[in-house]
Amino acid sequence: MPPALLWLRHDLRLADHPALTAAAAQGSVIFLYIQDDASSDWRPGNTSNWWLYQSLTAFAKRMQLVLRRGRPDTVIADVLRQTGAGSLHFTRGYAPQSAAEETRVKAIADAAGVPCHRYGGYLLHEPEAIRNGQGEPYKVFTPFSRACFSRGEPRAPKPVPTFTPWTGDIDSESLSEWNLVPSDPDWAAGFPDYWHPGETGAQQQLSRFADEVLTGYSTSRDFPGVNGTSRLSPHLHFGEISPVQCWHSIRAAAARRHGALDADAEKFLTELLWRDFSWHLLHHVPDLPEKPFRPEFADFPWEANPAGLKAWQKGLTGYPIVDAGMRELWATGFMHNRVRMIAASFLIKHLLIPWQEGEHWFWDTLVDADLANNAASWQWVAGSGADAAPYFRIFNPVLQGEKFDAQGEYVRRWVPELAKLPAQWIHKPWEAPASTLSSAGVVIGKSYPAPVVAHGFARNRALAALKSLKGADA
């Protein structure tokens, strides 16, 4: 039988891979990955490229992997011609350009007389499958999640199929030629201390989460100073593990403990559905990453504030919980979810900087940079998105720090110049007595910056900006 061509995308795994399972039934399998740098305005950021390099390296250690750069339809036409592949298989994409891209690929396969097959597997539910009572897409998450839960459990995960890897001769580019990893300077040098990209690393992280972290997850996930989150998001983004595998693994963990983890399991499964909801939104609103979902926010009176943006990016705003998050992001490619909300709110509402600036920064610096989730989450904080938090809900970064990092463990780790401050002052060091600052070796304005803006002033300014909008919640 002629070989089957498997076009890999965000599905860098062998287990629970519907496209691979189908390809394996057709004959030996050719694994092809295409680096397309030109077909989208949202090309992967630098940190995503670091992860991609590690993930492809891990995959190539298990299977012969054909690497090519270029437009997928052009590359696939060439590979079909060189290998004589008898079928083409791939996992569906959901980015705005994906449908047109897949149409072009199918046309190439049709012209070559090669059957072309597209499969799900990146989401729990296809975006078209979940509709409200009027047959329209959902715009509010809670009824969306209820509709998903009401459909019952997702299908069971598929095992790694039995297949024969294709071993023919074909030109393949070298991964090192793609310049995906930084070198001068190597700002990602510390990333391997935190992450293990690849399918094996993903499965190990899922097991670790289920065994060691899931207990108490529904509450501990809000506290950045403890190990209380799944840290599965980059593995899910690159398809090193599927949401179906995650869903059933957590269900099984709860069952093993006789329902003791029901609240924690339900919270995690709801987070998986938020991921689905984000892609559901992007599928139906393709300009979600660029334009406010609520059109009245198109006229929001943002301010030009390059100095404020730079201070935020560098973790030098003078608000310790914000700065800790931004420094964690730079050092690890990740930021705790609760702190993401605090840092995003600060940029948008304290500094009046457009949410798109933060979205672009996260896109370039997060290992789990996900187009739909990133856009939906930034718009949620900005108040301009579907089912968004009201704009007038303005986080006080001091109170948020005191509530979710009461003893300052998180701040001490990522803002070490404040490490010797007592917990009473660590989230508001500018209010600490001079003797306390001196004992801790802190000089406000020198060793640690003064706040770039006063909270009270920023809050009043943000509310005034909101009132200027017609139709917005004032």
| Within-domain flag for 407 | yes
Shared domain check, 235 and 300: no
| Active-site position among 199, 271, 359, 402 | 271
Structure tokens at 64: 């012969």
Shared domain check, 129 and 45: no
Shared domain check, 318 and 215: no
Shared domain check, 269 and 369: no
**What pLDDT score was predicted for residue 419?**
98
Shared domain check, 113 and 127: no
| Active-site position among 312, 355, 363, 425 | 355
353-381 average pLDDT score: 97
Q: Environment class of residue 467 by beta-carbon count within 10 Å: exposed (0-12), middle (13-18) or buried (19+)?
A: exposed
330 flagged as catalytic: no
Shared domain check, 348 and 403: yes
302 flagged as catalytic: yes
Omega cis (within 30) before 292: no
| Within-domain flag for 182 | no
**What pLDDT score was predicted for residue 471?**
58
Model confidence at 249, in pLDDT bands (50, 70, 90)? Answer: very high
Model confidence at 272, in pLDDT bands (50, 70, 90)? Answer: very high
Where in the sequence is the domain holding 445, given as residue range(s)? 295-467
Residue 166 has pLDDT above 50, yes or no: yes
Model confidence at 474, in pLDDT bands (50, 70, 90)? Answer: very low
Average pLDDT value for the chain: 95
Residue 394 has pLDDT above 70, yes or no: yes
Shared domain check, 79 and 150: no
- Chosen domain end from 284, 313, 339: 284
| CA dihedral (134, 126, 286, 344) positive or negative | positive
- The CATH number covering residue 377 comes to 1.10.579.10
Number of helices (H), then strands (E), belonging to the chain: the values are 19, 5
Shared domain check, 438 and 414: yes
SS3 465: helix
| Active-site position among 187, 274, 330, 430 | 274
Shared domain check, 135 and 26: no
| Active-site position among 51, 279, 361, 378 | 378
| Within-domain flag for 181 | no
| CA distances to 135, 225, 294, 392 from 233, in Å | 30, 19, 27, 29
Total count of domains within the chain: 3
Structure tokens at 206: 């899922």
| CA dihedral (251, 255, 256, 260) positive or negative | positive
**What pLDDT score was predicted for residue 390?**
84
| Within-domain flag for 41 | yes
Shared domain check, 461 and 313: yes
pLDDT in tens, 84-97: 999 999 999 999 99
Residue 473 has pLDDT above 60, yes or no: no
Element (H, E) at 34: strand 29-35
Shared domain check, 86 and 42: yes
pLDDT in tens, 34-66: 999 777 778 999 999 999 999 999 999 999 999
378 flagged as catalytic: yes
Shared domain check, 30 and 10: yes
pLDDT in tens, 169-223: 999 999 999 999 998 899 999 999 999 999 999 999 999 999 999 999 999 999 9
124-143 average pLDDT score: 94
| Active-site position among 126, 187, 337, 409 | 337
425 flagged as catalytic: no
